[in-house]
Every structure is written in C-alpha cells, then in structure tokens.
Amino acid sequence: MQRIVITEGPDRVSEVLIGSGIVGDLPELLPSRSDRQRVAVITQPTVREIAERIAESLQNRGLFGAVVPIPDGEAAKTLATVESAALRLNDLGFSRRDTIVGVGGGAATDLAGFLGATYLRGVECIVVPTTLLGAVDAAVGGKTGVNAGGKNLIGAFAHPTRVVIDVEAVRTIPLDMLRQGTAEALKAGLIGDRELVDLYRRYGIDAPLEEVIERAVRVKADVVSQDFREGGVRAYLNYGHTVGHAVEIAAGVSHGEAVAIGMVAAGVVGERTVGFTRRSEQEQLIASLGLPVRSPSVDGAEIARLMALDKKRDDAGIRFVVLEDFGVPRVVHPDAATVRAALDAIGID
C-alpha cells in the first residue's frame, strides 16, 4: 500500500492510501480514535455494494455503520441532498465525534466532503473514490461543494482526513469514464511527472492503473501541499483548462474531452511564448489515448467571451498554463494573436 501525505504549512492535513483490494480493510484504515461511535457511508447507487461491504465490516468490528444513499452523478450535488443527508445523520444520532465515509465518483466525494465540512460545523470525513477522475483529481486537494445554478457555486475547502483508493474498485469503470480520468492523469504527468507521460506513451489507455493513480496523486498532492488555497503553483493544475472550460460549455463536450482539447491549444501557446518544442508529440499522445484534439464546431467569439469571463483571468489578462517541456509548467499571459493561433489549431475560427 502506498501512502501519500498532503501538508499545509508544517501540518499534515490529509493522507492518501492507495492499494489493491483495500476497501474491505476500511475499518483498519480509519484514523485511530477512541471516541468514534458511528460511521455513515454515503454512497452512489452504482457502488452501493462496496458501501454495504464497508458498513458490514464496521459492524463486524463493533462500530455502528449505516449506509446513506444519495442520487447518482451530478444530480447528487445539490443543497437539497446536503439537507436530506444531514437530517438522516441527525436521525441516526450522529455527533461531532462521528465519521462520514463518502464512496463513489467525484460527485459523491464532492458532496460527502461538503457534508463533512458543514454537518455540525464539521465532522471527520474519509473519501473512497471509485472513478479514475475521482481518484486522481476530485478526491485529492480539499475542494468540496455542490452546484446551485453555477457549478460548484457553494462549497468549502476541507480536506478529508484520509483518501482511500482501492484500485480494484476503480477498475470497473466503463471506457468512456476511463478516458475522462485519463485526461486529468495525463495532465498531471505533463505538468509534473515525465515518467507518467512515458507510461501513457508506452501502454496507451491501458497504462497500469495503480501506477497511474499513484503518480498522478503524487503530482496533485505536491502542488496542493505547496499552495493549499490556490494563489500560486496550484494554477498548474489548470493546464488545458483555460480553453478547455470554454469548449466544455460552448460545445457541450465532457470535461475530460474538453481538457484534452484545451491541452492541445495550450501546446500552441507554449510553443509561441516559451519555446515548447513538443507540441505535436503531445497532440499525438492525446489522440493515441482516444481523446479528441479538435473542438466540435463552435463560435470563436463565444469561446473568447467565455475565456474572458473565466476565473483564470487576472489584471494582466487571460492566464495560461504552458509547458517549457514535459514536467516544466509556467504561467504566461499570451497576446491576442497567440490565443487566436491556439484556437485555430483546435479548429475554432
């Protein structure tokens, strides 16, 4: 089992455990505490079996373990779900000493994290991500929240005490979801781990899952430990997201696909601003993973408008994360002609 620690200043705030078949050992993987009495396992319908296994193993060890179901996917990320789950915890007699375990994809861990941050002003939260996107991105880094009109409009920075990643639980995701997570895992490699990039070059989408997860989590954990609340290097995690978010909204493609397209655009910006020489190599790699490298037809003016609205903008203009080389990220403020060339390259005119 691998153990990756996330720190804030001198303090250890969170710990990620990665292994195979470890979900049944969850009671042993809870931080040791003598005052904990109850554990609620918040779960999506698709992974209910895993949640029930966890609840059972808790009961076998004399703890009170209850399963609290939430709706599937994005539909769970609402204040209404927070309210109904909180009422359920209250009915179960949950106190501030008790523990929430959130099991499922990024939607479930975002919701469970927010519930953990707000129920009785905060209780211990453990998350068990079961998608690749959840494991390498959503569950790591302490951003929690729900949607309300805007995506993630209401939320909190709150690290789970532990993130428990069972690679066997992630392995069952369908191919399109594997691709979603692969876009973010590749991004992690591109900004911080050349060996992860090499893994994808060698094995394509079938790159060994446990090593992919471990390497991608390490990149995110390192960045977050340096910059918990997003002022500096945490921006590197936005590689591919400046154009990507705009394409996601305007063209309605999935987040992972949009990030893939956005990384192609960022390759052009990098080539023109910091002399990145591996633009076409990066594009071929993205395509070889079955991810798109061109945007569906969308209005260029709409993309420009969305990028200007984006939070990744500061006083100096639109902020782009680019690469000097694989593993060497930088932030630049490209001129309009450079942005134009980047959009051209992904088929937006």
Ligand X SMILES: NC(=O)c1ccc[n+]([C@@H]2O[C@H](COP(=O)([O-])OP(=O)(O)OC[C@H]3O[C@@H](n4cnc5c(N)ncnc54)[C@H](O)[C@@H]3O)[C@@H](O)[C@H]2O)c1
Give catalytic status of residue 143 as yes or no. yes
Residue 104: what are its φ and ψ, rounded to 5°?
145, -160
CA dihedral sign of residues 103, 106, 108, 111? positive
Give the nearest distance from C-beta 73 to ligand X in angstroms: 4
Q: 341 near 268, Cβ under 8 Å?
A: yes
d(CA 196, CA 201): 9
Give the nearest distance from C-beta 322 to ligand X in angstroms: 21
Residue with smaller CB distance to ligand X, 71 or 296: 71
Residue with smaller CB distance to ligand X, 226 or 280: 226
Give catalytic status of residue 238 as yes or no. yes
CB neighbour list of residue 168: distance below 8 Å, 6 or more residues apart: 20, 21, 23
CA dihedral sign of residues 104, 107, 109, 115? negative
Q: At what angle do helices 300-309 and 241-251 cross, to 10 degrees?
A: 120
Give catalytic status of residue 230 as yes or no. yes
Find how far residue 251's CA is from the centre of its chain.
21
Residue with smaller CB distance to ligand X, 47 or 196: 47
Residue with smaller CB distance to ligand X, 74 or 210: 74
Q: Which of 38, 159, 162, 241 is catalytic?
A: 241
Give catalytic status of residue 234 as yes or no. yes
Give catalytic status of residue 12 as yes or no. no
d(CA 189, CA 196): 5
Q: Which of 15, 124, 184, 248 is catalytic?
A: 184
Give catalytic status of residue 211 as yes or no. no
Give the nearest distance from C-beta 240 to ligand X in angstroms: 13
Q: 16 near 146, Cβ under 8 Å?
A: no
Q: Which of 15, 162, 215, 238 is catalytic?
A: 238
Give catalytic status of residue 151 as yes or no. no
Give the nearest distance from C-beta 235 to ligand X in angstroms: 14
- What 8-state DSSP symbol labels residue 134? I
Residues near ligand X, by CB under 6 A: 44, 46-47, 72-74, 77, 104-108, 110, 130-131, 133-134, 137-138, 141, 143, 152, 169-170, 172-173, 177, 180
Give catalytic status of residue 255 as yes or no. yes
Residue with smaller CB distance to ligand X, 147 or 338: 147
Q: Which of 255, 272, 278, 279 is catalytic?
A: 255
Give catalytic status of residue 283 as yes or no. no
- The structure tokens listed for 116 are 């953990």
d(CA 39, CA 54): 10
The pairing of strands 328-332 and 320-325 is: antiparallel
Give the nearest distance from C-beta 135 to ligand X in angstroms: 9
Q: Which residues are known to be catalytic?
A: 121, 143, 184, 220, 230, 234, 238, 241, 245, 255
